[in-house]
Structure 1
């Protein structure tokens, strides 16, 4: 296992009305899955797809643990150090993707001074030459807490007893959601197990459809009260598209080779994960029309 890419156990999605009564719950970090391999002071890191990212994150070189070997399971999140110092540090999914996509050595050194990576952990899969997959989640958590002390690079994700209360707090703060862990469960690598579930705290907003993509796949350009909010790229059902296309012909302002621009009269309710750093909707999905002429 050590120093080889492995496929971790993935989170099984649940709806908010399916939240478990487990007393082992954590916030869902908005970054990307990272598996950290510690081998006698040397560190390597891989994504859940097996991509090695060690050279992209010089922060990993500062990890020192009181053990010989381990595989730690967690997330990579990234904080923007250029924010005003009078504001609490905030991590952004956009910044995590920027760090992930920065590969050139000189660029990595520069960006690491502005966008700082941190690795919150929730599990340990391997310790001192022995896999820990058959141990219960709580046994593994106790071991993880004894091995990892909080630092600028690593921390152990806190657990909370009340999943419903934690979910409501995550939603209130605009966070991605929660993760729930079955206390007695072992690990099945490479599976999407119902012993570790995620409940996303989706947000909703009313948008106006201001443009239609003409080439390169489906796309509706969205605005919120006149401000551009991104592109809806997940197509709704054919009846919805047909109804919109019928009305949109009367709203055309202009067009070019790629887009047709409309009077932003048609409104719709959109579900999305969060606002991106530049104020756009992340992964917007159509819910329903709000304009009377398009409502059955």
Structure 2
């Protein structure tokens, strides 16, 4: 099939907007935030294509997802999240997924399937038996999805709890999940960010020191308990950048090809998703400087 043909099967996904806090509402279904990679799965006549949220075809990397548990091999388009599961805890393992996503050679892919099989958590259906169902309500699409898909060791449904977002958020974050997604039951599926879906992320917080900065592009090296724990390179307001820049020359210790290192006198409060297995902050964001 040509690239143009593959792209014709791809639809841009519906994206949630950021929500500030969990809530209860009878108009909503609340789902766990699965820590993984958003994937759309298209199957026509038994042939599977997997697309990232940006439309890149990556089906060869995940051969365990080529057998979709739909009895009649119907023409279908599914939306969900792929991740790896820790065999000991049963929790999602995003770092194992990152390792799998880098496997491109057939030998490495097969080894990845044996050592770290992926799992596809499905939460929506956009096409079934050749019919576009995006105009149906979320409740109707969920009913159709459960009718179409049976599930197996590599596929399952993302469970949803109606009405009660606060209790689900508390229960899931206590177990290490990254939050919840609130979805309005009456919402159609639209290929854009839409406030009918809200992502409510659970954050951790830490006080860190700025130990250096990147030379060629913005990025602050973060230090916590006497070791480097990450790089803050996201959206930092210009006022904070300029304040640090104003004192960085006074604090300078040394430099190498990529970084200038400074005395870690400036402290900041950051929020982040989780600690990685290497002991680094995943996706740190600046909240504010800490007053001396």
* TM-score, structure 2 as length reference: 0.88
Quote the Cα distance in structure 2 between the aligned partners of 1:263 and 1:208: 9
Q: In the TM superposition, what whole-angstrom CA distance separates every residue of 1:52-107 from its partner, at most 9, and x where no partner exists? A: 111110101333312322111111112355xxxxx313323333233233222222
Match of 1:76 among 79, 82, 85: 82
Structure-2 residue corresponding to 1:106: 107
Question: Is residue 2:37 matched to residue 1:36?
Answer: no
- 2:174 maps to 172
- 1:52 alignment partner in structure 2: 57
Matched residue, 2:224: 224
Partner in structure 2 of residue 84 of structure 1: none
Distance 1:199 1:172, change over 3 A: same
Q: Aligned to 1:22, which of 14, 27, 30?
A: 27
Q: Are the aligned partners of 1:41 and 1:65 in contact in 2 as well (CA < 8 Å)? A: no
Larger mean Cα displacement after TM superposition, 72-81 or 53-62: 72-81
Q: In 1, Cα distance between the equivalents of 2:68 and 2:23?
A: 38
Answer yes or no: is the 8 Å Cα contact 1:209–1:265 preserved in 2.
yes
3-state SS in 1 of match to 2:95: helix
For each residue in 1:131-155, what CA deviation from the matched residue of structure 2 results, as whole angstroms up to 9, or x when unmatched? 1112211111111112222321100
The reply to whether residue 261 of structure 1 matches residue 266 of structure 2 is: no
SS in 2 for 1:168: helix
Deviates more, 1:221-230 or 1:19-28: 19-28
- Once the two structures are overlaid, the 10-residue window that deviates more, 41-50 or 12-21, is 12-21
Deviates more, 1:138-147 or 1:95-104: 95-104
The 8 Å contact of residues 22 and 166 in structure 2, kept in 1 or not, is answered as no
- Write the distance in 2 (CA, Å) between the matches of 1:113 and 1:269: 41
Normalising by structure 1, report the TM-score. Answer: 0.87
Q: Following the alignment from structure 2 to structure 1, what is the Cα–Cα distance between the partners of residues 205 and 244?
A: 20
Aligned partners of 2:112, 2:207: CA distance in 1, in Å?
36
Q: Which residue of 2 aligns with 1:144?
A: 145
Structure 1 unaligned regions, length at least 5: 82-86
**Secondary structure of the corresponding residue to residue 275 of structure 2:** coil
Q: Compute the displacement of 1:19 (Å).
A: 6.9
Aligned length: 285
1:12 — aligned with what? 17
Distance across 1 between alignment mates of 2:77 and 2:197: 18
Distance 1:241 1:50, change over 3 A: closer
